[in-house]
Amino acid sequence: MWMSARGRRSIRGRGLQGFVVRIETRAMTKVRLQKVLAQAGIASRRGAEEVIRQGRVVVNGIVVTELGVKVDPHADRITVDRITIAMVESRVYLLLFKPRCCVTTARDPQGRKTVFDFVPDAGARLFPVGRLDFDAEGLLLLTNDGLLANRLQHPRYGVTKTYEVAAMGHPTPAALERLRTGVMLKEGMTAPAEVTVIGSSPGSTRLRIVLHQGWNRQIKRMGEAVGHPVLSIKRVAFGPLRLGSLKPGGSRHLKSGEVELLYKLVHLDKEQRNADG
């Protein structure tokens, strides 16, 4: 069914641009609308609720603003900001070696390269799990599995992220201990981190840093706080995932065993994956 004039007026000029959003579902009973939006990568479950409240979602030509509405993703026509949510038959999990000098977004107003310039057509709209700074490189997971992505980024689960970092100068034992136990930033004290010296040169030191949180530009700000500005950052692991032999710009699909490990890491079993939460 085509969208009503009322629906077109209610969402005109907001948000998303002209592309088709794809989600993964299986034959199932009706599920909550916010879950469908979250799985499509529109927003987190909580963010999807706000999108609904704003009147930006139309189901079968009717603007939906109340939470709790259930839909059949196979049969109902659902649009967000006039963009149709279509069907895709399988979830996609892609591991990318993000190169330096590209942004972790689908589009960039400044015209810079994005990580999606390096991603092959996966037959689905993927979105990044977390982010890496423009000048950082390394492991980045992209998927259309909103449920898993949201949990992997939630502080409750403390999914580890491992980095190889070049810092200016040679940190003293006291500076290293500050990095390990916590550094005061504007958000508060950073969580304890694992910090190991793995090499040095006349003007810099190479560190391996394992974080359990992901504040904006956290490693750079931690380095500045202890007097050793960061020169380069490379993420080499995300939870159980490793870069392996990938080169910058290269990517690969996750193996089924790796996906299972991620689900176990955030305490999701097969029933929960398909449940209407």
Per-residue pLDDT tens digits for 60-84: 999 999 998 999 877 888 999 988 8
The span from the CA of 186 to the CA of 173, in Å, is 24
pLDDT at 17: 40
What fold characterizes domain 5-88? 3.10.290
- Residues 71 and 37 sit within 8 Å (Cβ to Cβ): no
- Residues 157 and 265 sit within 8 Å (Cβ to Cβ): yes
- Residues 229 and 155 sit within 8 Å (Cβ to Cβ): no
Nearest to 61 by CA among 137, 139, 9: 9
For 165-175, letters b (16+ CB in 10 Å) and e give bbbebebeeeb
Nearest to 53 by CA among 82, 78, 33: 33
**Equal fold, 93-155+240-269 vs 160-238:** yes
pLDDT at 218: 95
pLDDT at 15: 44
pLDDT at 273: 59
pLDDT at 274: 54
Superfamily of domain 160-238: Alpha-L RNA-binding motif (3.30.70.1560)
Distances (CA, A) of 198 to 117, 192, 235: 32, 19, 15
pLDDT at 47: 86
pLDDT at 20: 43
> Catalytic residue numbers?
133
The span from the CA of 181 to the CA of 189, in Å, is 9
Amino acid in the structure at residue 277? G
Q: Where are the beta strands (DSSP E) in the chain?
A: 21-24, 31-32, 57-59, 62-64, 70-71, 78-80, 83-88, 93-98, 127-128, 137-143, 161-168, 184-185, 188-189, 194-201, 204-211, 230-238, 241-242, 251-253
- Residues 219 and 211 sit within 8 Å (Cβ to Cβ): yes
Residues 6 or more apart in contact with residue 112 via CB below 8 angstroms: 101, 102, 103, 134
User: Residue ranges of the domains in the chain?
Assistant: 5-88, 93-155+240-269, 160-238
CATH number of 93-155+240-269: 3.30.70.580
Q: How far apart are the first and last CA of the chain?
A: 27
pLDDT at 133: 94
- What residues of the chain score a pLDDT lower than 70? 1-29, 41, 86-89, 270-277
pLDDT at 1: 33
pLDDT at 207: 98
Residue 277 burial (CB count, 10 A) = 12
The span from the CA of 191 to the CA of 211, in Å, is 8
Q: How many CA atoms lie within 13 A of 3 on its CB side?
A: 22
